[in-house]
Amino acid sequence: MENQAFTSVSLLLYIILLLLLPAAVQSQQQNLPGEYYEGRVYVKIQESAGLQWADMDSLQDLSAYGPFAELFRAFGVYRIHKPFGRLSSSFFDHTYQLYFSETGQEQAFIQLLMREPAVEFAEQVPVMRSFYTPNDAYANNSNQWFLAQIDAYDAWDLHQEGEGVVVAITDDAVKWNHEDLDGNLWINEAEYDGIEGIDDDGNGYIDDYIGWDAANWDNDPQPPAYASSAVFSHGTHCAGIAGAVTDNWVGGASISFNNARIMSCKGKTDGTTGTEIDEAWGAFAYAVAAGAEIISCSWGGSFSLVNSNLVSLAIDNGAIVVAAAGNDNTSIPSYPAAYTGVLAVANTRSGDVRNTSSNYGYWVDIAAPGTNILSPIAFNQSSYDSYNGTSMSCPMVAGLLAHMKSYKPNAANEEIVDCLLSSADNIDVVNPGFVGALGSGRINARAALECLDGGGGGGDCNGIALGLTITLDDYGDETTWGVYQSGNLIVSGGPYEEGAEGLVIQEPVCLQEGCYDLVFFDSYGDGMCCDFGDGSYFLTSPTGEVLASGGSFEDQEVNNFCVNGSGGGSGCPPPNDLHAFEVGYSHLYLDWTPVAGDAEAYRTRFKRVGQSVWTEGNWFTSSATIWANMLPCRDYEFQVQSRCDGIEGEFSNTVILSTRGCEDEYCYSYGTTWDDWIARVQLKEIDHETGKSYGFGDYMDLSANLEQGAQYPLTLTPGTDDNQQPVYWRVWIDFNQDGDFQDADELVFQQSAMNTTPVFGAINIPGNTLTGPTRMRVSMDPNGFAESCSTGSAREVEDYTVIVNEGSPNSSSWEETMAFSVEVFPNPVRERVYVKLPKRMDDPASFVLLNAQGQVVKRWSQMEVNESQQVSLDVSELPSGLFWLEVSLASSRAVKKIVIH
């Protein structure tokens, strides 16, 4: 059918949105890094629990929520919904967002929720903000300087219009009828030609002809009528950068040259102002459901496990996700940019210099111009302005990706991304303080397309230009090569022509000062010389010095070489007596005899025995170092080199060292970095201040005596060298002593908190647990709840012994909790609070008091109930404030808010 008119938001939905608006607009900085909404949490229900919550959009009877009813009443829960329930995913079918009136009590609510067995995890909902800084109106709008900077014109000589690629602009809104956008709009043909009021394409959204408004929940992603250069133009500006209509005598050009089809995904509620995009993730979810090929996210905020899973679903469904790194001039990761698999984009200005506002760091993948970028805005259908920010850099990368996918529509996403990164111009020379912190460099559109044609990629050399001369044998199609640094591929080439024996190939190699591995490969396994021709290669410096050479090998040949600032190689003597003085499961302490005389620094490197690529460390003045990204029970080759008067010497002879773990009966679990660590574990007799364990700590010599059917308090304390961020704790006990942690009930503890805050909880020992010693595993990971046998780059694991003894006959483990009502008085209270239970109970009661941060501040165990069904609790030593009292009685519990004066 023809698109007659967009449906409007119903009056009821509009009223609900207005009621929710203040909580969205007036969010404040919380005790977590970045911003999180007050009065909102994500809750993930265990999929095995068989529990589904009904949606609730206003205050109503909470009794349908069973054991959660009293907890919801205590915190004033007034809205429950599945934010991403339309996606085909079991994870999101069990993920809810709860809105509650007890704002400022988010951490307490989270800790109480996670004490319910059916809850897998709970977390705060992060605020997402756009990343741009407006310029004065129409500044620098006379040209589009960035197109020449990224070699767009040369790229257009290779490829102009081809197959359209769907680019989702997830943002505040998109003025889709702008004069320089409407020709490149994505149209949902199934809905456009379908029946009004029906979800014709089955994606969960009705009549989404050109996109979706996830904030006002309708099918018109247009900004409101009051949009200006400062308000509701961010998404329109980003859309123009990614896919403005090009070669139309109107407005500006986009790098995608009419190959992007802009999917409009609105994420900001009408009536709001500022940079907050309150439904950014709802807009993202629509892009996933609608099948976007590239998703552009010029916004960001703090980490969320729920949102991380949403990004993973997008990538699994075939999308390339691009995100702005942020404009805070910091190396602190921003999300979604720092999520695994997302392309994080930094901002450069003319001359390829980093814009001083741009974020940077190891997690950034690529840089692109984002300064004084002219593009459409939403003021009217013919308005334009120039903006600054990584928000502008992000859609420029998205637009280039669209151009690349249009050029090679059958190329896999991995190939597209690899060519984007490997073809970037190295900009380290003009950003000396940010080497390695701006990703692979600044995008080069021409080189990216050439890479897809099988070239080596790379633009102009902004480093040291080396020459690689290759003389082919008769089977050049078997020859490939690569230059690696610290295990990362820097540049590569080949295969070459078959039957061209004696043909000489000149390959330019642009590198920065440092040491590298040149690896030549032969796919057949007979090298380049000498059975089928005299093939060879040699790598030369700008001064003509031969840095590496060869040709006679089997399947591969490795040459180690270094270049200094003048392009030459040289050095001072290597150190002696390299050895390990402490060996762990995933780390080794190394030291060596210092070089006599002028050695100013040292560097070590390692590789697995039998492999060819070395991983290199940083330079240190000390003659000792630690490597902590090892695998257990592996053999490694180590070398060390020195630097004298700024000149790097040769590496020492190889020493083979082995990590621990070959005799361990349990699976390995460890981390390879140590900015966050387990600082202290407290359980019964165990009170161990560990400090850094460098990924894994074996403390099986420490033990706690526990009884069948009993419950024990547990305290876990983190340590950190880094910025504040959430960390996720899990504890397992091998109850049946079968050498793993995979059996039912062996995950005994799970909580999240900041890396500056201890967590408190209880461990329950089932009544049928085997007696005797067994293993307890403690895991802490900033990237989410880890599995018992998994590894991660930023986690720490510690193993302890627990000894299970026979318990009393009446002991029993936790069953599913049931809610019940209690009365507390007086409230507010000064010294003593009384708790009245609903009926006479034979079992003693237990009480836990939590503060607003979710920390347990006091416990009362096995309290006897008097004849009046009351228990008296002394709170006289506690400070004034708001607290949450959890009452546990057999398998029932209740939660009440109390105020202490």
State pLDDT tens for residues 203-233. 999 999 999 999 999 999 999 999 999 899 9
Per-position b or e across 876-891, b if 16+ CB within 10 A of its CB: eeeeeeebbbbbbbbe
Q: Is there a single domain that holds both residue 176 and residue 93?
A: no
In this prediction, the residues of the chain whose per-residue pLDDT falls under 70 are: 1-34, 59, 132-143, 455-462, 565-573, 596-598, 628-629, 672-673, 808-820, 839-843, 890-891
* pLDDT of amino acid 492: 83
Element (H, E) at 711: strand 711-720
DSSP 429: T
pLDDT digits (tens, 9 = 90+) for 270-316: 999 889 999 999 999 999 999 999 999 999 998 888 998 999 999 99
Kindly report the backbone phi and psi dihedral angles of residue 392, in degrees, each rounded to the nearest multiple of 5, phi listed first.
-85, -35
**Measured between alpha carbons, how far is 206 from 209 in angstroms, rounded to an integer?**
9
Of the candidates 805, 828, 863, which is a domain's last residue? 805
The CATH number of whichever domain residue 583 belongs to comes to 2.60.40.10
pLDDT score of 596: 65
Catalytically active residues are 171, 234, 391
> Residues 634, 680: one domain?
no
Residues 284, 416: one domain? yes
Q: What is the 3-state secondary structure (H, E, C) of 824-852?
A: EECCCECCEEEEECCCCCCCCEEEEEECC
Please tell me what DSSP assigns to residue 88. Answer: S
Q: Rounded to an integer, what distance in angstroms lies between the CA atom of residue 67 and that of residue 61?
A: 14
Residue 718 pLDDT:
92
Of the candidates 893, 901, 898, the one whose C-alpha atom is nearest the C-alpha of residue 70 is: 893
Cα–Cα distance, 154 to 723 (Å, whole number)? 43
Q: What is the CA radius of gyration of the chain?
A: 31
User: What proportion of the chain, given as a percentage, has pLDDT over 90?
Assistant: 45
pTM: 0.63
Burial of residue 645 (CB within 10 Å: 0-12, 13-18, 19+) is: exposed
The CATH number that applies at residue 258 is: 3.40.50.200
Cα dihedral value 544, 545, 550, 551, nearest 10:
0
848 burial via Cβ count (<10 Å: 0-12, 13-18, 19+)? buried
Same domain, 156 and 257: yes
Same domain, 271 and 419: yes
Q: Do residues 294 and 254 share a domain?
A: yes
Distance CA 237, CA 308 (A): 26
Q: What is the CB neighbour count within 10 angstroms for residue 430?
A: 14
**Could you tell me if residue 194 is inside a domain?**
yes
Residue type, 821: S
Q: Which three-class secondary structure state does DSSP give residue 777?
A: strand
Instruction: Identify whether residues 555 and 582 lie together within a single domain.
Output: no
Contact 833, 827 (CB under 8 A): yes
Residue 707 to residue 765: CA distance in whole angstroms? 7
**Strand pairing partners for 262?**
167, 185
SS3 label, residue 182: helix
Strand 384-388 and strand 845-850: the pairing is: unpaired
**139 Cβ contact list (under 8 Å, min separation 6):** 372, 385, 386
Helix (H) or strand (E) holding 400: helix 390-407
Give pLDDT, residue 789.
86
| Spatial separation of the C-alpha atoms in residues 506 and 469, rounded to whole Å | 5
Per this entry, what is the length of the chain?
Answer: 901
Place of tokens 């050399």: 461
Give me the CATH number covering residue 834.
2.60.40.1930
Phi, psi of 340 (to 5 degrees): -60, 130
CA dihedral 111, 113, 117, 120 (to 10 degrees): -90
Residue 650: what pLDDT? 79
Instruction: Give the chain's domain count.
Output: 6
- The three-state secondary structure class of 146 is helix
752 and 726 Cβ atoms separated by less than 8 Å: yes
Report the CATH number that the domain containing residue 56 is assigned in CATH: 3.30.70
Q: Confirm whether 203 is domain-assigned.
A: yes
Phi, psi of 462 (to 5 degrees): -105, 25
For residue 410, tell me if it sits in a domain. Answer: yes
32/152 same-domain check: no
Q: Are 801 and 773 in contact (CB under 8 A)?
A: yes
Range of the domain at 555: 463-563
Is 236 in the same domain as 358? yes
Gap between the Cα atoms of 781 and 785, Å rounded: 7
Q: How many CB atoms lie within 10 A of CB 304?
A: 23
In angstroms, the CA 255 to CA 403 distance is 7
Encoded tokens for 443 = 């995008």
Rounded Cα distance, 656 and 661, in Å: 16
CATH number at residue 556: 2.60.40
N-term to C-term CA, the chain? 66
Helix (H, G, I), strand (E, B) or coil at 606: strand
Pair 887, 822: CB distance under 8 Å: yes
Residue 565 pLDDT: 61
Residue 877 lies in a domain: yes
Write the CA distances from 235 to 261, 264, 337, 396, 425, integer angstroms. Answer: 15, 9, 17, 13, 28
Residue 221 covered by a domain: yes
What is residue 629's predicted lDDT score, i.e. its pLDDT? 64
Identify the pLDDT of residue 841. 58
411 plus 289 within the same structural domain: yes
3 assigned to some structural domain: no
C-beta atoms surrounding 831 within 10 Å: 12
Q: Are 623 and 641 in contact (CB under 8 A)?
A: no
**Domain end: 126, 159, 182, which one?**
126
DSSP strands (E only) in 4-87? 36-45, 77-81
Is 454 among the domain residues? Answer: no
Residues 691 and 727 in one domain: yes
* Whether residue 159 is found in the same domain as residue 274: yes
243 vs 253: CA distance, rounded Å: 8
* 3 state SS of 412: coil
Specify whether the CB–CB gap between 700 and 801 falls below 8 A: yes
Question: Token pair of 538, please?
Answer: 């040699």
Query: End of a domain among 515, 537, 563?
Result: 563
Distance of CA 599 to CAs 10, 563, 633, Å? Answer: 75, 18, 34
- Predicted local confidence at residue 891, as pLDDT: 63
